[in-house]
Structure 1
Amino acid sequence: MKKRMLTGLLLAFAVSGAAWAQGKSVIDLNRSFAEQRKTVMADLESDKYREISLEQKSSVVAALNRIQSKLGSADDVSRLHENDRVAVMNDQSQINTILTQAAADSRLVCRREKTIGSNLPQNNCLTVAERARLKLRAQDDTVRAQQRIGQSQK
């Protein structure tokens, strides 16, 4: 349990560090919001964010709609009332956090691995999130098998 928590924390720090190091966000309110909204909506339908959950996707869409309703036809955040500006900035931060994490999880990693019974290596391509799920499942299976062995010896 502690290993899972530590792994989750390390992954969160790594993703936030990667986003910080890149220095770019998905939504930048200094640029045209309408164009960015269209791009994000198209990316949500494509494979760019294939590891995004339905809940996260709906949260991003809701935040985009809230920003759109606050901005109206103008793209200038500085014209908004202070409370509305804070709400827009919070929605921007939420969108950037969710999409940065989803993009990191959706990154495809390919490895050349030898399969059992063969000397010929094959490409094994999985997303970062798929690899993490497989690793956790293998660890859980190992723990369950060890518990069954321990119970059968009693």
Structure 2
Amino acid sequence: MLRHVASRQFVFTLVLAIAAAMPAIANETHPNLDAAAILDQQRQIRVEVEQRSGRYKDMPSAERTTLLREQDKVFTLLRDRSAITDLPEADRIVVFNSLESISAIVNRAPEEKLVCERTRKIGSNRTETVCMTASERRARREADAKALGDRNAACLKSNSDCI
């Protein structure tokens, strides 16, 4: 599972790096980075969601509301942009996370939604982008809670001051 996350994170980082390194003379933008293509796709989805037609006719209202809210973020951030790479990195991550949320709702696969965030490693001022699926985040939370519980139990058993 970690290999899968590492490969998805690597691909995401590679796409962002390639996009940033593209020469200005290139006239074509990759479809995954082209703001107009993304906005067109989201508009098509929105029309079907609002009309409650096609694959969206039986969508629960909570999912519909979430999808529309995530689309609003994408529309706001990509308005007047030609490519995702025109955005600051923090906004690129917001767009990426919103598109992943929309994809998870549309494909009915919430556990496969990839969520990225900028974090600082302990003891460092450098930030890094960490991406994990919802199921991987849940598994990590559970493992951390278990480790903490095991540590607390060991401290109580040994009757020592564990810091």
Same fold? TM cut 0.5: no
Higher relative contact order (CA 8 A, sep 6+): 1
Using the size of structure 2 for normalisation, the TM-score is: 0.42
Using the size of structure 1 for normalisation, the TM-score is: 0.44
Structure with greater Cα Rg: 1
